[in-house]
Amino acid sequence: IDRAGYGGSRQRGPLPRNSEQIAHETFQVLDTLGISEAVFVGHSFSGFNLRILERDHPSLFKGIVFVDMVNPNITERCDPTETYSVPLFKFGMMAVDSGIVRLAEAAGLLAGIAPVSRLPPDVQVEYRHNLFRPGYFRTYSDEFEVWGQSCAFVKSIAEEQKSLDFPVTVVVPTEGIYKDKMEFAQEIADLSTDGKVVTVTSDDADHVTILWDEIHSLTVTFEVVSMIAKVY
């Protein structure tokens, strides 16, 4: 499911773009499609959103595969009263609005971005087209501004020590956000009595290489397919 403002979802979603709002929208999509249960996969910030979705709609869940999910116990931005900002997102909005990105594309500069060039050709085109849309960077900025709210929501769930009655797999790359903090990945796996941590040991495995590192992407695919086979 593409969150509002990303991928095939071109509309900027209603504010605030915190995990409670995003989880509500995710449920609306599932309900519209008639999906009453599923194995969910969440990378990074989507881990926050899935925790909220599970809190509100536990019967939907047959299992979760978290991929380098952010953990509220190790993020530095968990103050719900703060508004956070990333200059890169602001620059992205300015670059799109001013036409700089399209000029860079016309000059062939975007095609040479090393990680993007490792994606399949059709995916490369779609990935670069995201960079043309002001909403892409604006949505990133909207979500990050209220990151502290999303983090605080999930932290409150964790403090309740609620256990999950379905399998949980946490896939973590050696150079990801749990580098030198693997005990916090285990902390997420321990939310379930049927939880485990799977480490991706590729030298290229970090927080974002699920898109283009073969070992990373194959590991995630294997764990997702294995969980589906297990619960169904």
Query: What are the pLDDT digits (tens) for 134-163?
Result: 788 889 899 999 999 999 999 988 777 668
pLDDT score of 123 more than 80: no
Measured distance CA(226)–CA(229) in Å, rounded: 5
Give mean pLDDT, residues 54-79.
92
Measured distance CA(51)–CA(62) in Å, rounded: 13
pLDDT of residue 59: 96
Angle at 197 between CA 162 and CA 217, to 5 degrees: 120
HSE, CB side, 13 Å, CA atoms: give it for residue 117. Answer: 7
Q: How many residues does the chain have?
A: 232
- Of residues 52 and 213, more confidence is placed in 52
Comparing CA positions, the residue from 143, 141, 140, 132 lying closest to residue 95 is 132
pLDDT score of 115 more than 70: no
pLDDT of residue 135: 81
pLDDT score of 40 more than 90: yes
pLDDT of residue 157: 86
pLDDT score of 85 more than 80: yes
pLDDT score of 178 more than 60: yes
Measured distance CA(142)–CA(19) in Å, rounded: 12
Residue with tokens 């380098």: 68
Contact (Cβ atoms closer than 8 angstroms) between residue 177 and residue 185: no
Measured distance CA(189)–CA(181) in Å, rounded: 14
Q: pLDDT class for 6, splitting at 50, 70, 90?
A: confident
Measured distance CA(16)–CA(18) in Å, rounded: 6
pLDDT score of 186 more than 80: yes
Stated pTM of the model: 0.89
Measured distance CA(68)–CA(64) in Å, rounded: 12
Comparing CA positions, the residue from 159, 192, 177 lying closest to residue 43 is 177
Angle at 38 between CA 137 and CA 199, to 5 degrees: 70
Report the mean per-residue pLDDT for the chain: 87
